Structure 1
Amino acid sequence: MAITVARHMLPEDAEQRRQALRSYFGDKEAAAALGAQGWNLTLDWSSEADWYVDPQLEHGLRWWGRGAVPDIQAIPLEHRCESGIALSLFDTWTLHAWSDWLQRHGGCREALILHVDDHLDLGSPRLVVGSDGWTDAITGARFDLREPSTVTAAIESGAVSMGTFLTPMVHAVERIEIRHLRPPHRGRDTVTRRLLPTTEVDALLSPGGLRPAVAMASLGAMEAGQGEKVYRATCAVDEWLRDAPQWPVLLHIDMDFFCNRFDGDSDWTEAPDRHDTPLSGVLAGIDELFATLHASDVVDRLEGVAVGVSPGFFPAEFWETAWNRIVGNVAARGSFHGQ
């Protein structure tokens, strides 16, 4: 995909320009060549295994491909449904599963999102807010969260990426609560905030245009549960579901919650105190998570489960065993409502 932007929109210095492009496009590789009209940008998914930093990547991909190793460039696009669970390599596809759910229900005014993840994922997607709705800043195509085909297109273009896929839900659902279960290394305090749908100014593809964003504000204890858009984060499993609202439930699991050995960083071996849980701890964590879910009444309202494998974060040699443990927990405890 080729895009042209004005010369003044990117730094002249090559390293600064590379960093600016990486920051803006996130998951996609972007190259810039100066032409008569400005910078000609070329976007593509990386074809290099080193992009994912995991030396055992091929091991995990062979499991994913059922013996055949998928093309590296296809990694961000790989998703499927197994055992009633929306499974993907990039957890961006979680938004597609939620879009499909919204379409089936004709939209929904209320949702409780159980977000099991080492990251927040409330960044600003590369979508532009207009009077007639949202558009993909990369392709110009229309985006409507209640039309899954438009969500697919935005994920494939890179407009919606890892780290941004929760934001459209905060804008679209009238009453929403995100219960974020974080790993213990993120700190043990329980944090409760009000979610504020807002916008931020685009800095490259649509200069001056507004992109959807989410801000947070303080929320007093007496205000919780009164219908606001609420974010609550905790590392304590026993606090995670306490006093959860009686709304339809969507569960998202990013496998880097259990182990985030790499965190997408090529210098991961030098990272101090990295979240590098052994496989035995990963499996114990999966068991604890599902035991907590099934001890709570939220399981009776669970409408869908989405799992993101997260190449370059969760170790590839764990993929198959961890996935089988999740499926085993689901099968042992019965199907979820809505599946």
Structure 2
Amino acid sequence: MAVIDLHNEPLRVFECLEAHTLNRLDFLFPDGTHENTPPGITRENFRSHREYADWLINIFDFWFDRGEHKKKIRLFDNILALLIGGQSDTEGIGEQSLSFFTIETDGEIRDSDVLGVAFEHASRFGEGHFLGKQCFEKLMNSNDFQTKLRQYSPASLSSECSMCYWRDICGGGFLAHRYSVEGGFSNPSIYCGNIQALLKHVRARIKKKLVQHGEQSETTKNKIITKHGNLNFCADAQSLSRMWDIPISAINKIALFSNGNHSNPIKNSCMEIPVSRILTPEHPDFYQTIEREMFDVVHFLVHKLNCIIYSNRLGHCFSNDQAFQKRKIGLLCRDREESLYLLGALKNSSLNRGKVSVGIEMGRIVAKKGKSDTIEITFLPNEKEPAEYFSSVNKASEEFILNLNKEFSQPPTVWEIPANNSAEIEIEDIRDIFSDYSFSDEIAISGDKFIVSAKEPYYRNEALAVRHYARVGNIAIVNNHAWASLFWTSMLSTMTDCDTDSSYQIIHIDYHSDLMMPKLFYSPEVGTFIDFFTKKPVFFDDKKTIEKAIYSTAIGPGSFLLPFFYLQKERWIRYDHIYPGKIREKSDSTSRRYNIANNGPPILKQCGSTLLLRNGAKKKKNIEIRSHSAEISEFPAIVGDIIFLDIDLDFFSNKMGGTTDWRTNPGWHPNDEELQKLFDYVQGIVEKIALSGKSVIISIATSNNFCPPEVSSPALQQLIKFFKTAGLIRSKEQW
């Protein structure tokens, strides 16, 4: 171990140590605290200081470029492991833990002796614990031990560290380096700026290496950067957003296990750590946990089958010269229906000429709220030789993804659209109707018909997720905004305080009004609406037919509100649309009254009438619409018996071309001041709803196509914080 001295040239130090044929090295920051700062660092500059990082970066680049046969450097090995989803085996980087004891010469049992740099007896447990009969058991059952454990807990991190992007990688830094008289150990590390600079550099090098590997691949399938629709997924953690992250195992709990009648706390104690997490594709850790052989498989499972992937967080690497961990993918099933469906389909895809190259096993996992079904996919489950395993796992993965594509492939659908009014129908009109479909051939004209051959879009199957949300609480987070209305209907069916006289108020916080007409047309013969694409009836009170209409895109993210209005056509509804600024049209907070009708303009001018908001009829107008500007802080009155708080995260983005000066700023999003103003506005609405005491259903659309992750990530975290603080998130039992 070598302590960094900035006066020494880094590469010469490394070469000198290497010359002594050492196989494992480590570089340490000089001991220091906020009271006794290290050389070159002050309490004023510690967040921006990076001389120690630059010193280490010189060595890292030289070491990293040497490839597989480089000597092990513990600090670098642990940073790399953390960045690709593994764990750290040393203190000072990664999640901190009380993992060993120090025995003083007088027999006193203490924590790490390095804590002494903070203040005298900083490593002591209470007033002192000493060697003796059952001393460790007594210590570990004492309040003194629990107090010390709490110092290492993530809950003890400063608010600055808790909100930091690097929290899970940095872990807050070495405990002693956080100390100050005023804040104790609840401060950022005195090496905060240096740690961040080093982590950013290492991550950038990994990303560059991965992207280079992808560019060198023969096919686009193996590329690290993969396109899905209009959304790019890549190995760059910063381009992916933090959504929700549910711990499955216990956090920092030391458990004692008895061996017969004898207690041996040293041999029989173990540290349980949060090694399993449910991760969504938008979480920054998600793609970091995936090895290159698994990337295409995981991408297919997530974006074509909407599977929930959970990572074991241990990574997949050699633990020593003999043992290794096989490539595995864990699926968490939302319900029994999904688990049985996936189990059969994946088993069919796992067979290759009768040989089992992929093992599919059913399991159960203990989560926060009970047990859930899991499916574990193991590649080459019967292979025991590491060399043979890693030379064959690529082929097994490629065969599995081919089988998956065959199992879930779909032939193109052919639509015949009458062209007897072809003078009025342009091909671009048809392209617009089928904008979410992939065309197999060009649109053709045959006789008096347009022939359209296209494949239906793959969407992440959020129907199962919506059913799950409706069972456990009053908030749903979806990507496709159309699922919000299905969630509302599901939630209303569970509510005891909803009757036929209850009024609804939809507070729609969104860049778009989402009042477009769906691609449905009314059939007087059937007495209901017909899906334009599938030609099947859609009943707005039938979840199954609504799901199918969302899958076919007949009901889309911009057209889900009118079907909901139609379902509730006998009920008074107040709809408040809140723009982020003055936007495209003049803000108008005056009331406009409508009723919902089924005689809207025909699709393609001939395929039946659609839904329409009508304001000229003499019928009772049950829908009141108002528009409000967040820019000038126009707040809607809370007047409904049941409130639907519906937020699209593109409200916080200007990719669609907003107002003010957002488009002149770098990136897609408003500057910090404008963004904070929007947060303040939404917080004001949340507080008004909370004060009203009304029942509230919350839906959030992440809208990946319109809102970039660098905006959606902090926005989502901030919204959840508002809801929790105001007490708006409720379990099913609280309705």
Pairwise TM-score range, normalised by the shorter structure: 0.7 to 0.9
CA drift of 1:249 comes to: 1.0
More strand by share: 1
Gaps of 5+ in 2: 1-412
Q: Which residue of 2 aligns with 1:66?
A: none
Q: What does residue range 43-192 of structure 1 map to in structure 2 within 5 Å?
A: 43-44=454-455, 73-74=458-459, 81=469, 84-104=474-494, 108=500, 110-131=503-524, 132-173=527-568, 174-186=571-583, 187-192=586-591
Compared CA separation, residues 195 and 26, structure 1 to 2 (3 A): farther
Larger deviation, residues 226-235 vs 149-158:
226-235
Q: What does residue range 199-214 of structure 1 map to in structure 2 within 5 Å?
A: 199-204=599-604, 207=606, 209-214=608-613
CA drift of 1:297 comes to: 5.5
Partner SS for 2:603: coil
Q: What does residue range 1-339 of structure 1 map to in structure 2 within 5 Å?
A: 1-8=413-420, 10=422, 16-17=426-427, 19-29=428-438, 32-35=443-446, 38-44=449-455, 73-74=458-459, 81=469, 84-104=474-494, 108=500, 110-131=503-524, 132-173=527-568, 174-186=571-583, 187-198=586-597, 199-204=599-604, 207=606, 209-216=608-615, 228-236=622-630, 239-242=634-637, 244-262=638-656, 276-278=669-671, 281-282=674-675, 284-296=677-689, 300-336=693-729
CA drift of 1:288 comes to: 3.1
Residues 241-263 of structure 1 deviation map (CA, whole Å, 9 limit, x = unaligned): 22x32421111111111213246
Would you say the 8 A contact 2:519–2:532 is kept in 1?
yes
Residues 79-110 of structure 1 deviation map (CA, whole Å, 9 limit, x = unaligned): 65498521121211112112223444588553
Residues 4-53 of structure 1 deviation map (CA, whole Å, 9 limit, x = unaligned): 1123455699xx41x2124334544555233467222234456xxxxxxx
Would you say the 8 A contact 2:504–2:573 is kept in 1?
yes
Q: Which residue of 2 aligns with 1:62?
A: none
Gaps of 5+ in 1: 47-72, 219-225
Q: Find the aligned partners of 1:125 and 1:95 in 2 and give their Cα distance.
A: 13
Q: Aligned AA for 1:257?
A: F
Alignment RMSD (CA, Å): 3.7
Q: Find the aligned partners of 1:98 and 1:179 in 2 and give their Cα distance.
A: 16
Q: Normalization by structure 1: what TM-score? A: 0.73
Q: Which portions of structure 1, spanning 4 or more consecutive aligned residues, are displaced by more than 6 angstroms?
A: 269-272
Compared CA separation, residues 292 and 262, structure 1 to 2 (3 A): closer
Q: Which residue of 2 aligns with 1:221?
A: none
CA drift of 1:309 comes to: 1.5
Would you say the 8 A contact 1:197–1:212 is kept in 2?
yes
Who wins on radius of gyration, i.e. which is larger? Answer: 2
Residues 94-153 of structure 1 deviation map (CA, whole Å, 9 limit, x = unaligned): 121122234445885531111111112112111122342222122122222222221111
CA drift of 1:180 comes to: 1.1
Number of aligned residue pairs: give it. 296
Q: Find the aligned partners of 2:493 and 2:422 in 1 and give their Cα distance.
A: 39
Compared CA separation, residues 302 and 203, structure 1 to 2 (3 A): same
Q: Find the aligned partners of 2:691 and 2:506 in 1 and give their Cα distance.
A: 11
Q: Find the aligned partners of 1:119 and 1:85 in 2 and give their Cα distance.
A: 21
Compared CA separation, residues 298 and 36, structure 1 to 2 (3 A): farther
Task: Give percent identity, aligned residues only.
Answer: 19
Q: Find the aligned partners of 2:657 and 2:434 in 1 and give their Cα distance.
A: 18
Would you say the 8 A contact 1:27–1:161 is kept in 2?
no
The one of the two structures with greater contact order (alpha-carbon pairs below 8 A, sep at least 6) is 1
